[in-house]
Structure 1
Amino acid sequence: MAQFTVNGSRFDPYKNFKFRIKWDGRYVAGVSKVSALKRTTEVVKHREGGDPSTSRKSPGRTEYEAITLERGVTHDPEFEIWANKVWNYGSVGEEVSLADFRKPVILEVYNEAGQKAIAYKIFRCWVSEFQALPDLDANANAVAIQMLKLENEGWERDYDVTEPEEPSFVEPT
């Protein structure tokens, strides 16, 4: 596990607008929005027979919420290729690509200078929902957005990604 150091000059928290998604060893083009990484652990209530007035609580099962990725529609077919591994219309008898419909995903967060500051590994992801095109409207003025909903079996922070030494502009002499 990496040693944690605190950048003495960093005061502000990281912003939420600089990030990248990676799968199959490549960055995925154009991802503009990623939903929150969230897990919930059920609370199991129980009580001891000799203490009828109070109950105790302990952790139960942990669930990881699906992650939604959004990006503008482009010619890059990565979203659709992965979605087709779960269900490919017209492939009678071979609708699901069981060998490779799951894959790990990496979410990287960058500081304002573009340096990787935080990364999360998201495990055994698969596409449960795919939106190829949004509602189309001839009177609108907006970017067409694709959406991919990824079920997953957990995530963990990559502690090998350490806090970067932030750059400083040198004043001319």
Structure 2
Amino acid sequence: ITLERGVTHDPEFEDWANKIWNYGGGLGEEVSLKDFRKEMILEVYNEAGQLAIAYKIYRCWVSEFQALPDLDSNANAVAIEHIKLENEGWERDNEVAEPTEKKF
């Protein structure tokens, strides 16, 4: 699973990625084996802001993290950070019903 978002001051992606390998951490502090996996719910919303579909994702961990894109002074782009997650299983949340269309 690859998640992307615009670069922000929120360090949550980076903090999670650092649990896998904390470069420069002291001896025995390089990896946080205790809590680097997380349970997640991935929710997808339609253009009306209604929950359309959801997945439960089990025992996720970060396998790749890119804090900044290639910096190009000639490009006209938004800075995006990427996080790639591995997991040990997933299932669709069948309690999420198909949203009804609103009439205007």
State the TM-score, normalized to the length of structure 2.
0.90
Match of 2:58, as an amino acid?
Answer: F
1:127 is matched with: 62
Q: Structure 2 CA distance, aligned partners of 1:160 and 1:88?
A: 38
1:99 is matched with: 34
Larger-gyration structure (1/2): 1
Q: Structure 2 CA distance, aligned partners of 1:145 and 1:113?
A: 24
1:112 Cα deviation (Å)? 3.0
CA RMSD in angstroms, aligned pairs only? 1.3
Deviations 1:53-101 (A, max 9, x none): xxxxxxxxxxxxxx11111111111110100111111212111111210
Q: How does 1:80-159 map to 2 (within 5 A)?
A: 80-92=14-26, 93-159=28-94
Partner secondary structure for residue 71 of structure 2? coil
1:164 Cα deviation (Å)? 2.6
1:133 Cα deviation (Å)? 1.2
Q: Structure 1 CA distance, aligned partners of 2:6 and 2:45?
A: 21
Partner secondary structure for residue 81 of structure 1? helix
Is the counterpart of residue 163 in structure 1 residue 77 in structure 2?
no
Deviations 1:6-38 (A, max 9, x none): xxxxxxxxxxxxxxxxxxxxxxxxxxxxxxxxx
Q: Structure 2 CA distance, aligned partners of 1:83 and 1:128?
A: 8
Q: Structure 1 CA distance, aligned partners of 2:42 and 2:72?
A: 32
Match of 1:71, as an amino acid?
Answer: R
Higher relative contact order structure (alpha carbons within 8 Å, sequence separation ≥ 6): 2
Deviations 1:98-145 (A, max 9, x none): 121000121112233211121001111100111111111111111111
Q: Structure 2 CA distance, aligned partners of 1:112 and 1:138?
A: 33
Q: Structure 1 CA distance, aligned partners of 2:2 and 2:97?
A: 26
Runs of 4+ in 1 over 4 A off after TM superposition: none
Match of 2:44, as an amino acid?
Answer: V
Q: Structure 2 CA distance, aligned partners of 1:138 and 1:116?
A: 38
Partner secondary structure for residue 112 of structure 1? coil
Which ranges of structure 2 fall in alignment gaps of 5 or more residues? none
